[in-house]
Every structure is written in structure tokens, then in C-alpha cells.
Structure 1
Amino acid sequence: MTGSSEVCISGTSTDPVFRAGEALRAESGRVLAEYREKAAMVTELQLDGSAREEANARLIEFASGRLTEYLSAADRVLNATAAGAPATRLLVRALRRIQGSVLRTVEELRESGTSARISHAAQALDALLGAYLDAETSVLLPALADLPGADVPVLANDLRTLLDGGELDRAEVLDVREIPHGTRHPRIFGRYARLAPGESFVLVNNHDPKPLRREFTAAHGEDFTWEYAESGPEKWRVRIGRAAVPA
């Protein structure tokens, strides 16, 4: 007998979705552990002088750099995909509110002028970040694994690519006519998440995607653009873009 095949059992280490989910959990766990290690130097140890200043600087650098980069990448890859499905849209709204609070506290940390204020902001950030990452790993990731059209291994690779400083592949045209209806919208939102401000892609569909436009408005407000290039009767082409940042 020649050749071999790998047997994948759902929910075990042989399951690609399970492995990808574990990789995503490990990444968020590393971010939280690194933050808490640096925060402890500021909030728990009685450092003085240059040692205290150095600990403060390292914490601010991490929060402004790696932590903020992780939140941005997770929002582009994970939240944006889940925002495209009614079952997870409210969850994403809640996560983005918490994420906004995290980012505002990072800014507060950066602007703190005294060690006491830095310590206070660091403690607040610890609580917010812990809540956000716990919801991401315990609620969002299982929801994505069950969401039709969401490919968790692809999402894990996309997140890793962004964190490594790479760029995501950006297909100019997304033709969803052969994709089952229940799986289309997460794919489309995932494609939108890859856009930089001012970029766009063409969606090809076999019906007028007016319900999709309502979902985009609910998820992104005025941050997207929508322009019909072809309007039936058998094929619709819509250019969907991410609004450019004002100069």
C-alpha cells in the first residue's frame, strides 16, 4: 500500500482548526504575559531613580508598540471577520468598545507625567487588557470556529503575517457566486479587513447585495465606500473600499 493520509479528529491536536485556535490563544497569552511582566516592575517593585525611570519607559514602549500592534492586527483579522455575521456582530461591537478603552488607557499611560500616575494607568490597563483578551480567547475564537465562512487557520496565518510586519494578500476581485450563501459575508468582511485606507476591491455577486450594504453600515458606519460598477440582471459588481484618511 502506497501513500498516506492524515486523519483529523475535530477538537483534537490533529484538527487544523483546533491547532490554529491554540496558536491564536498562545499569541494573546504571550502579549498579556509580557505586559504583566513589565507592569509588575512599575506597580509592585519599589524602584527608585534611574531604575524606576527605565521600568516606566519599557512599559510605555511595550504598550505603545507590541501591545497596540497586536490589538490592531486582531481587529483587522478576527473582529473584522466576525463583524460580517449577524450571530457575532454584537460581540464584535462589545469587543471594540473594550478595545477602545484599552487604547485610551495606553494613551493615558503615555501621557502620565509622574511615577504614581504611570502606576495607576498600568493597573487600569492590566484589568482592561485582561478582560479584552479573555473575551477574545474564550468567546470570540470559539464563535469564529463555528462561523460558516470563517477559516480559522487562514485567520491565524493572517494575524501572524501582520505581527511579523508583513502584508496580507489583496485580491482585486472577490467573486462569491460559487460560495454558499451562508458563508459569503464573513469572507467579504475578511477581504475588507485587508484593505488599507483608500484601497478597494470588486465584489462580484449574482444578486444585488443590499443586505450586505446594511451590514457594512452597521459594522463600519461611514468608514467604507460602495460604488456599483454593474447592476444585473444576472451579475452585480460593486467596488467596496475603505475610506481614505483625511489629509
Structure 2
Amino acid sequence: MTITSEVYIEGSEADPAVQAASTVRRAQRSLTGALRPKVALLTELKLGPEARERAQEALARLCDGPLRRYLDACDQTLYAAAADAPETRLLIRALRTSAAVLRRHLDALPNADEPPTVTSLAESIDAVFAAHLAIERTVLLPALAALPGVDLPALAADLETLLDGGTVQTPAVLDVRAISRGQRHPRVFARFARLAPGEAFTLVNNHDPKPLRRELQATYPGAVTWRYLESGPERWQVSIGRATAPAR
């Protein structure tokens, strides 16, 4: 018989939360490493018209592909998990505002036709994105790791999936009866994080999940809807949704 152990020292390299944060930082470094040289071509070198046009097109492709995909993936995973929690609500508003500013620059870049405008946009994209990533890295990731019920490793895995062009599972019915008790609440929290306002999923459990309800409502006050569809004695089904207008 093989016995496995998942014992680790919190904060060490074996800590799943540390590994998850490393996954996000790795994606950030990859993007920054691709972005900086392309920005430098337009901001630090005196290129001829044809070379400058090619450099602008290369930067626009990166921005419209991997960079925009990163912003969208973060919004669907990391931001969604923290959007309605009192501890992180304002932080997510700030990050989404920053992302909106960045998207406006990305939209303007392909059609910019004056060299000073192109240079200014490239510099702005580089600066805003660097500041945006720094806030994610130094503020958001530690906040997510400390947020009750949030499974940062699962969020990081979903982020990777989206960055690779895949899709994350959003089952309409989440049956946790075969899942170990310690993993049930994180699984439900991860599913809740993927809900848009007004959406819901059905939880199936083998007991009344009242402790889960208290935990969800404490973490996301005013944002959780809860409706029993079946109440035992052997099976409980609950419709769990994200409210359309969370209390502020």
C-alpha cells in the first residue's frame, strides 16, 4: 500500500499558494519579456518609415493577442474571486479601472498613424501595464491567499488554461458528495468566482451545507443568492447564485 502525504510548511516553496503565485508571476514575466523589446523599437530607436510600421504592427499583434488575453483571463479568475469581498472590493475596482485604461491604449495603437502618437501609446502601454502587474503581484496575490474560502492554486490553474487558449469548466451542477470534505468549500468558492451577476449553479451535497452558506455570505456579503431545491434527508440541492447588485 502506498501512503502519500501533502504536509508542507506554509510559505515555503512546497506551499500550494506560493506555487500558485509563482505561476501568475511566470505569466507576467513572459508577457513583460515579450513586450519590452517591441516597445523599445518604437521609443528608443530612430527607425525608417517601413521599419517603424513593421515594429508598430508587431507590438499591436502582441497587444491584441497575449496581452489582451492576459487581462481577460485575470478578470475571469483572480478578479472575479475577489470582486465582492469587503477586503478586496476596492482593489478589484482599481485593477479593473487600470485594465480599462490599458485596453483603450491597445485599441488606439493599430490605427495610430503619426510617429509621436505611436511612441506615446507604446510608452503608455509599457508604463500602465508595468504598474498594473506590480499591484497584482504585491497586493492582489497576497490578498487572495488570505481570503477565506478562495483556492488560489485552482484560480492560477484556471488562469493558465485561459492563457493557453482553453476554457474553464463551469458546470451547471456541482456534486461534491464524492469530494473529500476539506476540498468541498474551495471547490464551491472556485465555481462561485466564475459566476457573472445573475448567474447560478446547483450544489448537490449529502448534508445541509449551512456552514458553507455562512462562509460564502461572510466573504461576499450581499452578493450571494441561496435557494434550497431539495432538503434531505439523504440529498440536499441548493441553487447558489451571484446577485445582480451586491450590497455596498
Q: Which TM class, normalised by the smaller chain length?
A: 0.7 to 0.9
Map of 1:81 onto structure 2: 81
In structure 2, what is the equivalent of residue 39 of structure 1?
39
1:1-247 mapped onto 2 (5 Å cutoff)? 5=5, 7-174=7-174, 190-194=190-194, 200-202=200-202, 214-215=222-223, 230=229, 237-238=238-239, 240=241
1:89-122 deviations in Å (ceiling 9; x for gaps): 1111111111111111111223312222111111
Residue 13 of structure 1 and its aligned partner are, at CA, apart by: 1.3
Residue 188 to residue 213, structure 1, CA distance change in 2 (3 Å) = farther
Q: State the Cα deviation string for residues 119-152 of structure 1 (Å, max 9, x = none).
A: 1111111111111110001000011111111111
Evaluate the alpha carbon distance shift between residue 51 and residue 136 of structure 1 in structure 2; reply closer, same or farther with a 3 A threshold: same
Look up the SS of the partner of 2:222 in the other structure. helix
Q: In structure 2, the residue corresponding to 1:86 is in which secondary structure? A: coil
Are the equivalent residues in 1 in contact too, given 2:202–2:237 (CA < 8 A)? no
Secondary structure of the 1:214 match is coil
- The structural deviation recorded for 1:171 is 2.1
Aligned identity (percent) is 40
Decide whether the 8 Å contact of 2:109 with 2:121 is kept in 1.
yes
Q: Which runs of 5+ in 1 are unaligned?
A: 217-225
**Does structure 1 retain, via aligned residues, the 8 Å contact 2:77–2:159?**
yes
Task: Decide whether the 8 Å contact of 1:88 with 1:143 is kept in 2.
Answer: yes
Which deviations, in whole Å up to 9, do the C-alpha atoms of 1:52-79 show, x marking residues without a partner?
Answer: 1111100011111110000000111100
Paired letter, 2:151: D
**Which structure 2 segments of 5+ residues have no match?**
none
Structure 1 contact 8–14 (Cα < 8 Å) conserved: yes
- Aligned partners of 1:143 and 1:11: how far apart in 2? 14
TM-score for both structures, normalised by structure 2: 0.76
CA contact (8 A) 1:84 1:189 kept: no
Q: Distance in 2 between matches of 1:228 and 1:9?
A: 39
- Counterpart Cα distance in 2 of 1:132 and 1:49: 31
The 1:142/1:76 distance shift into structure 2, 3 A limit, reads same
Distance 1:163 1:52 in 2: 29
Take 2:132 and 2:89, find their aligned partners in 1: how far apart are those partners?
A: 16
Deviations 1:182-209 (A, max 9, x none): x96x866642453589975235786799
The answer as to whether partners of 1:195 and 1:242 remain within 8 angstroms in 2 is no
Q: Deviations over 1:202-237 (max 9, x none)?
A: 357867999668336xxxxxxxxx7967498x9784
Q: Which sits farther off after the overlay, 15-24 or 106-115?
A: 106-115
> How many Å separate the matches in 1 of 2:136 and 2:116?
30
Contact 1:80 1:189 in 2 (8 A): no
Change (3 A) 1:7 1:213: closer
Structure 1 residues 169-178 or 118-127, which shifts more? Answer: 169-178
When normalised by structure 1's length, the TM-score is: 0.77
Is the 8 Å Cα contact of residues 198 and 241 (structure 2) preserved in structure 1? Answer: no
